[in-house]
A and B are shown apart, each in its own frame.
Chain A
């Protein structure tokens, strides 16, 4: 698998809207983690604490940079590292089909 490289916008001031959580996804909090249950299929996805923070930021309003800023503050990490992590988690959550479809521009 090719090594993941941060997109250009990570270190820039670009502002990208994060996707919106699907309403069909149910959260099952367990300690500082969470299991997402897709009520359409029953599929389950385990989120650790950082992924959970990112997931909860996906309200269709917050930008990836805003979510990354919350992540950086909560876990005391560098903003660029946080942005890279947000991107990775969003890719995984998108792959799992956990976001509402993007509305037409």
Chain B
């Protein structure tokens, strides 16, 4: 089957999409119509007419075919294969994940922290922590309440101004939060996506487009460190700034690019913010 299906896709040819997400510019090439459609649906408001130099270039392309697994697909970034081969329904989540990897590897003008980031009244909130603590779900909750969306995965921090910069990727939602997202009234783009990396289905929330004002860089005034525990009651507790700085250091994604400057930057950041621990629970 699939060999014929892929051949048909190939005959339709490779297409390219240019995106501008804040200050990050992307070029994505693919011969897979569903990948192009996903990009068109999720990033309709972020299509750019062309990309300048210095963009992140990604490709989602057909890879090897085997009698047992059928056609497999490969994601290439800036000319090098970084993920694959994978089955077709994993391509889009891996493409999204590849964007993260390339931003970490190439955007060293920012100190990058693993955190969802939103803002209200010109002040940013970071929800910092590793995978699975609930960053994206909490970000979706604030998005539904009118906060300005920056990102569900990265805080891109200018080390000089300590302002966070927007990088409005689609929010990536795991299956355990699908019902919460439905209750929040946010449309979830979810068709065939499956990510082995996340061990299950994922869906996406389109970043706000023309209906809301675009995010602009702003200072971080609140930091929350969520912890998900299914049985616990939601609770928000003040956190000492020194503890917050140490925890943030463990959440930095491009520590290597800043070396000994990381901790002074993070200490300056937490001095300007209120810090909290959050037991998210069944929030």
List residues of chain A with CB under 8 Å of any chain B CB.
26, 28, 30-31, 33-35, 37-42, 44, 46-48
Contacts and interface: CB of A to CB of B under 8 A. Distances in A.
17 contacts: A28-B263, A28-B267, A30-B245, A31-B241, A31-B242, A33-B240, A33-B241, A33-B242, A35-B242, A35-B263, A37-B260, A37-B263, A42-B260, A42-B262, A44-B263, A46-B246, A47-B242
10 A-B pairs with the lowest CB-CB distances in the bound complex, closest first: A33-B242, A28-B267, A42-B260, A30-B241, A30-B242, A37-B263, A44-B263, A46-B242, A46-B246, A39-B260
Nearest to A24: B260
Contact of A37 (B243, B264, B270): B264
Contacts of A35: 242, 245-246, 263, 267
B190 interface: no
The range of chain B's interface size is 10 to 19
B242 A34 contact: yes
Contact of A46 (B243, B260, B271): B243
B172 to A, nearest CB: 30
**B interface majority secondary structure:** helix
A40 B259 CA distance: 10
B268 to A, nearest CB: 8
Contacts of A46: 242-243, 245-246
A35 to B, nearest CB: 6
Contacts of B243: 46
Given A31-B242, A33-B241, A33-B242, A41 B267 contact: no
A59 to B, nearest CB: 22
A39 B242 CA distance: 18
Interface in B254-283: 259-260, 262-264, 267, 270-271
Nearest to B259: A42
A51 to B, nearest CB: 11
Contact of B245 (A28, A39, A42): A28
Interface of B: 240-243, 245-246, 249, 259-260, 262-264, 267, 270-271
Nearest to B270: A30
Contacts of A28: 245, 263-264, 267
B240 A31 contact: yes
Counting chain B CB atoms within 10 Å of each CB, the highest count among A28, A33, A34, A47 belongs to A28
Contacts of B249: 44
B222 to A, nearest CB: 16
Nearest to B255: A42
Nearest to B241: A30
Nearest to A48: B242
Given A31-B240, A48-B242, 19 more contacts: A28-B263, A28-B267, A30-B240, A30-B241, A30-B245, A31-B241, A31-B242, A33-B240, A34-B242, A35-B242, A35-B267, A37-B263, A38-B260, A39-B260, A42-B259, A42-B260, A44-B263, A46-B245, A47-B242
A69 B246 CA distance: 30
